[in-house]
Amino acid sequence: MYPVFLTSHYFRSFIIFTLFLLLILDSVLFLYLVIDKILTERREKKKRYSREKFTEIIASKMFDDELLLEIPKDRFSYEVVGDLLLDTLRNLRGDFANKVQDLLRKNGYVEYFSKMLKSKRFYIRGKYAEKFGFTRLSEARQPLVELLKVEKHPYVIKKAVFALSFVFEIDHLDLMYEKISEVKDLGFKYVEQIFINVIRRIREFRNSEKGMRFLSLYAKLLDSLGRRALFEALGLEKVYEAVPIIAGYANSNDPLMRISVARALGRMGGEVSCNILKQYLKDMEDWRVRAVAANFAGICDISVVSILYSLLFDPEPTVAMNAAQTLLQFGRVGIEFLEKAKRNGIGLASEIAKYALEGANLA
Amino acid sequence: MRSVLHFFLFTFQYFVFFYFIFVNSFYTLSLLMSFRFLFIRSRSIVDEEYEVMLQSEMYRPISIIVPCYNEEKVIVSNLKSLLTLHYPEFEIIVVNDGSTDNTMQVLIDNFSLRKVSRPYQEFIHTKNVKGVYISLDYPDLVVVDKENGGRFDAVNAGINISKYPIFCSIDSDSLLEEKSLLRISEVFLEDKEVVAAGGIVRVLNGCKVREGRVIEVHAPTKAVEVFQTIEYTRAFLMGRTTLGNLKALLLISGAFGIFRKDLAIKINGYRKTVGEDMDFTVRLHRYCIENKIPFKIIFIPDPVCWTQVPDSWRSLIRQRDRWRRGLIDVLLYNFRMSFNPRYKTAGMIGFPYFILIEFLGPIIEFIGYVLIPVLWIFGLLNTQFAIIFFFVAILWGIFITIGSILMDNLLFIRYESLKDVFKLILFAFFEFVFYKELLAFVAFFATFRFRARKWGHIPRKKMEKTV
């Protein structure tokens, strides 16, 4: 009458067993949830209290020679104060920053972070590698280098290279390059930020020119993404020594490379950069190259104005819009060209010129 | 005839039993998998990292697209909240999709809008754009006024006018947490293969909101809202996390998702369907696989978007009816992906999940409820077993729900008081004796009207009054 399994004695026993098992599991989970919630509430209160209390203490230590913070012994409070110190350090420079770094040293955070780098769990190693880097302490260098030498997990390598980029010495660049090459799928902006950190760090060295030249040599070693990220970073940080190396890639077949070259050189200026931008304004292969070049053409002399005017009629609106915005940078001459386009232009060119003039309150 | 009916009823009991085991095992496995992932994620987040992003060049500018239709009550507070987001460079594009109320006037008055002749390229064809406005008070705000074409059309218009390489689409009745954008965009920085990412959508009803910010998180007061809170917690923390990890995430919620603009243009933007957000994600999978583009579509559990859920049964039924129709339309439109190894995990796990569990589930459930009296009449119902089975189903369901709430509490500490957690657990019990049955009925009947394209309007409340 019924499906066989329903009448089976074994099955019935099994299903009743399952019922009780679930009842127990549900009760255990429920109890666990309640206990955890109570503990969480307490922990959060304690966290808020510790943060408030130590914010005041840290502020008072800025003018004090006594550096011990008398942090409660439990790990939770220790973590909270550590995070607070890192948070404070982020917004400080100069003597105050040194003072916070001293507080980190004196209160055992160097040893603590070093110990955490040896954790068996990869996410712990990654997290503390990053925190160690944020301390910008020279003591972070060696533990991070040692970690990188043996580390296999891409997540940790990524975080450790990022951390080391704040505190490395010139000899570590090879190691950083080697390890970062092991991580696949790294995002462009992430690599760019590592290079920005590297450049800023090199500037802290006595012989920074040599360092920059050394860094530029990496352009040959890197893959396309890494090279573009390096160029963007060099441009953002205005490393003028790198202009010849970047210019060497101006005729790359890869439009993305040409875009990065345009952006980097456009940020630095100079005759070489301007000539390359002018060449890019006529790039017929990829409109994005023209658009970026038009955006940065303001670094050039007034002879570029007529080229920018012709770009107002470009079939790609982004190119035309960038050209219009840049024309405004040339003052009266640029405005005359925009007004001419507004009067004589047809369709989009006229609209774009009108929009640019409106934006500058010149319509 | 009688013997055929007997055979059907007999077989159906087998089928229901094994289907029940399959579905609940899948959910239990999902719970365990997502717990592991969320544990690692929550332990590896360093808040400092986001501060570094804020102060450096390490970000990618984002266009936030907010489609709105008759949202005069919520649009101002939502926009004010968005304009205070912690992000170095972004633009907000509000697309007024031909609202028939005062939405446009409210926007003009509150944000000092001025009509401009901003040129743009129509990458994706949309209904006529009547005007583009910029704000004199907020330089990052752009408002597009267009003829009504539906949510999909509004987002497409936003994509056309956006100037940044990635865009985030959010609903106008939603609020983003301050650092949500930083957290979700982080994956685009760190991994070049990410083409789309979704954050967690949580229920705003019941929370205390001030000046467009959620300042206290509470469980809602109305039963209909509490049930949805439980559902959202389970669906996002367990379902999406698991599917995301298996590279089979076929749905990034329209309430909060971030996408690469170039690919959105390549697939011709959003398609006209009531399930446009799922359809968009599925077509992204398809396009990338068919064109051999390395890609990742991921779910990140900690960037939060707060959204208002229907606060009446009527609105809820209307919403679920629409979701159901959307699901069926998307599954049919992209059917060639199902069980197709060419589409990798999306075809072999994502699609089977949506077909076997999301689509078939409510039908089997409905037939089950209807057949109980029939089985009883024919003497085919083993009453004792039926009762035990019913309790096993409830307890197993509660196990999964408490597991999700526990995960939420252990890892993200959202609810501030124990009272709220108790309320959720209490409702988790009633969910299995009323709510799920109701939704099964709604979904069953919606299945037969899947060709209907009607959206149905859900009334909004002012954000500050959600508590």
pLDDT above 50 for B125: yes
- Hey, is the C-beta of B377 within 8 angstroms of any chain A C-beta? no
A16, B405: Cβ pair inside 8 Å?
no
A6, B385: Cβ pair inside 8 Å?
yes
- Number of domain units in chain A: 3
Report whether B301 contacts B241 (CB < 8 A).
Answer: yes
Report whether A135 contacts A124 (CB < 8 A).
Answer: no
Domain boundary among A262, A282, A300: A300
Confidence at residue B467, expressed as pLDDT on a 0 to 100 scale: 40
Rounded to a whole number of angstroms, the distance between the first and last alpha carbons of chain A is: 88
Which token pair is B37?
């992932």
CA-nearest residue of chain A to B46?
A127
Dihedral pair phi/psi, residue B67, rounded to 5°: -75, 140
CA–CA separation, B84 and B180 (whole Å): 12
CA–CA separation, A274 and A301 (whole Å): 8
Which token pair is A247?
């210019």
| Residues contacting residue B162 through CB under 8 Å, at least 6 positions apart | B63, B65, B91, B93, B261
Which token pair is A205?
């060295």
CA-nearest residue of chain A to B8?
A3
Tell me: do A121 and A214 sit in the same domain: no
Is residue A43, in this structure, part of any structural domain at all?
no
Q: Among positive and negative, which fits the CA dihedral A300, A301, A304, A306?
A: positive
A19, B57: Cβ pair inside 8 Å?
no
Q: Classify residue A302 by burial, with Cβ atoms within 10 Å: 0-12, 13-18, 19+.
A: exposed
Q: What is the dihedral of CA B349, B330, B306, B195, to 10 degrees?
A: 60
Which token pair is A153?
């997990």
3-state per-residue secondary structure call for A214-273: HHHHHHHHCCHHHHHHHHHHHHHCCCHHHHHHHHCCCCCCCHHHHHHHHHHHHHHCCHHH
Q: What is the pTM of this model?
A: 0.81
Is residue A340, in this structure, part of any structural domain at all?
yes
Q: Among positive and negative, which fits the CA dihedral B154, B456, B328, B437?
A: positive
CA-nearest residue of chain A to B411?
A40
CA–CA separation, B387 and B367 (whole Å): 18
CA–CA separation, B37 and B298 (whole Å): 13
Report whether B274 contacts B209 (CB < 8 A).
Answer: no
CA–CA separation, B191 and B295 (whole Å): 10
* Helical ranges in B100-235 per DSSP H: 103-111, 151-161, 180-190, 223-234
B392, A22: Cβ pair inside 8 Å?
yes
Which token pair is A75?
């790990």
Is residue A64, in this structure, part of any structural domain at all?
no
Which one of A5, A16, A33 has the shortest CB-CB distance to B421?
A33
pLDDT above 70 for B374: yes
Dihedral pair phi/psi, residue A268, rounded to 5°: -100, -30
Residue A68 three-state SS: coil
pLDDT tens column, B38-48: 888 877 776 65
- Hey, is the C-beta of A90 within 8 angstroms of any chain B C-beta? yes
How far away is chain A from the Cα of B117, in angstroms, using its nearest Cα? Answer: 6
A23, B410: Cβ pair inside 8 Å?
no
| Residues contacting residue B35 through CB under 8 Å, at least 6 positions apart | B403, B407
Share of chain B above pLDDT 90, in %: 50
The band of B466, judged by pLDDT with boundaries at 50, 70 and 90, is very low
pLDDT tens column, B94-118: 999 999 999 999 999 999 888 887 7
Report whether B129 contacts B157 (CB < 8 A).
Answer: yes
Beta-strand pair B141-146/B129-135: antiparallel
B57, A34: Cβ pair inside 8 Å?
no
Share of chain B above pLDDT 70, in %: 93
Query: Taking CB atoms and an 8 Å cutoff, what residues of chain B touch A121?
Result: 43
Tell me: do A209 and A152 sit in the same domain: no
- The mean per-residue pLDDT over the stretch B411-430 comes to 81
Q: How many CB atoms lie within 10 A of CB A13?
A: 10
- Which residue type, as a one-letter code, is found at position B267? I
Tell me: do A192 and A296 sit in the same domain: yes
Tell me: do A296 and A206 sit in the same domain: yes
Q: Classify residue B354 by burial, with Cβ atoms within 10 Å: 0-12, 13-18, 19+.
A: buried
Is residue A6, in this structure, part of any structural domain at all?
no
| Residues contacting residue B21 through CB under 8 Å, at least 6 positions apart | none
pLDDT tens column, B172-200: 878 888 778 888 888 887 788 899 999 99
What range does the domain containing A135 cover?
110-183
Confidence at residue A267, expressed as pLDDT on a 0 to 100 scale: 93
Q: What is the dihedral of CA B236, B240, B241, B242, to 10 degrees?
A: 130
| Of B194, B200, B266, the residue nearest B234 (C-alpha) | B200
Tell me: do A354 and A320 sit in the same domain: yes
Among A18, A20, A26, most B C-beta atoms within 10 A, so best to mutate, is A26
CA–CA separation, B72 and B100 (whole Å): 10
pLDDT tens column, B297-323: 999 988 889 998 999 999 999 999 999
- Hey, is the C-beta of A16 within 8 angstroms of any chain B C-beta? yes
Tell me the CA distances in angstroms from A61 to A69, A79, A97, A324, B123, one per residue in order: 9, 19, 12, 54, 59
- Hey, is the C-beta of B139 within 8 angstroms of any chain A C-beta? no
Q: Which CATH number do you get for residue A161? A: 1.25.10
Tell me: do A279 and A197 sit in the same domain: yes
How far away is chain A from the Cα of B121, in angstroms, using its nearest Cα? Answer: 6
* Among A residues 206-265, those touching chain B with beta carbons less than 8 Å apart: 225, 236
Mean of all residue pLDDT scores within chain B = 87
pLDDT tens column, B33-72: 998 888 888 777 766 566 666 556 667 789 999 999 998 8
* Among B residues 184-203, those touching chain A with beta carbons less than 8 Å apart: 188-194
Which token pair is A340?
């001419």
pLDDT tens column, B242-276: 999 999 999 998 888 999 999 999 999 999 988 89
- Which residue type, as a one-letter code, is found at position A352? I
Tell me: do A291 and A191 sit in the same domain: yes
Tell me: do A335 and A292 sit in the same domain: no
CA–CA separation, B449 and B446 (whole Å): 5
ipTM, 2 decimals? 0.78
Dihedral pair phi/psi, residue B355, rounded to 5°: -75, -50
Confidence at residue B47, expressed as pLDDT on a 0 to 100 scale: 62
The tens place of each residue's pLDDT in chain A, 363 residues long, gives: 556 566 677 877 888 888 899 999 999 988 988 888 888 788 888 888 888 888 888 888 877 777 777 777 788 888 889 989 998 888 788 888 898 999 999 999 999 999 999 999 998 999 999 999 999 999 999 999 999 999 999 889 989 999 999 999 988 888 998 888 888 777 788 888 889 888 888 888 877 777 777 777 777 778 888 889 899 999 998 988 889 889 999 999 998 899 999 999 999 999 999 999 999 999 878 888 999 999 999 999 999 999 999 999 988 888 898 999 999 999 999 999 999 998 886 777 888 888 888 877 766
Tell me: do A255 and A356 sit in the same domain: no
Q: Which CATH number do you get for residue A286? A: 1.25.10.10
Report whether B229 contacts B207 (CB < 8 A).
Answer: no
Place of tokens 């980097």: A264
Confidence at residue A27, expressed as pLDDT on a 0 to 100 scale: 92
B192, A186: Cβ pair inside 8 Å?
yes
CA–CA separation, B438 and B271 (whole Å): 30
Among B19, B87, B385, B390, most A C-beta atoms within 10 A, so best to mutate, is B385
- Hey, is the C-beta of A1 within 8 angstroms of any chain B C-beta? yes
Q: Can you say how many angstroms the Cα of residue B228 is from the centroid of all Cα atoms in its chain?
A: 12
CA–CA separation, B154 and B69 (whole Å): 9
Which token pair is B466?
């959600």
Residue B114 three-state SS: strand
* Among A residues 51-70, those touching chain B with beta carbons less than 8 Å apart: none
B119, A317: Cβ pair inside 8 Å?
yes
Confidence at residue B465, expressed as pLDDT on a 0 to 100 scale: 47
- Which residue type, as a one-letter code, is found at position A189? K
Q: Among positive and negative, which fits the CA dihedral A250, A252, A254, A257?
A: negative
Length of chain B: 467
* Among A residues 289-308, those touching chain B with beta carbons less than 8 Å apart: none
Tell me: do A355 and A322 sit in the same domain: yes
Which token pair is B139?
């330089």
Tell me: do A285 and A322 sit in the same domain: no
Is residue A226, in this structure, part of any structural domain at all?
yes
Residue B165 three-state SS: coil
B406, A354: Cβ pair inside 8 Å?
no
How far away is chain B from the Cα of A60, in angstroms, using its nearest Cα? Answer: 23
- Which residue type, as a one-letter code, is found at position B258? I
* Among A residues 177-196, those touching chain B with beta carbons less than 8 Å apart: 185-190, 192-193, 196
Is residue A34, in this structure, part of any structural domain at all?
no
Which one of B117, B191, B417 has the shortest CB-CB distance to A351?
B117
Is residue A267, in this structure, part of any structural domain at all?
yes
Domain boundary among A268, A300, A332: A300
Is residue A147, in this structure, part of any structural domain at all?
yes
pLDDT above 80 for B451: no
Place of tokens 């202009």: A243
- Hey, is the C-beta of B25 within 8 angstroms of any chain A C-beta? no
Q: Can you say how many angstroms the Cα of residue A83 is from the centroid of all Cα atoms in its chain?
A: 20
How far away is chain B from the Cα of A13, in angstroms, using its nearest Cα? Answer: 11
B239 secondary structure, DSSP code: I
A87, B51: Cβ pair inside 8 Å?
yes
How far away is chain B from the Cα of A207, in angstroms, using its nearest Cα? Answer: 25
Tell me: do A150 and A198 sit in the same domain: no
Report whether B146 contacts B129 (CB < 8 A).
Answer: yes
The band of B462, judged by pLDDT with boundaries at 50, 70 and 90, is low
Domain boundary among A122, A154, A183: A183
- Hey, is the C-beta of B409 within 8 angstroms of any chain A C-beta? yes
- Hey, is the C-beta of A28 within 8 angstroms of any chain B C-beta? no
- The mean per-residue pLDDT over the stretch B433-440 comes to 90
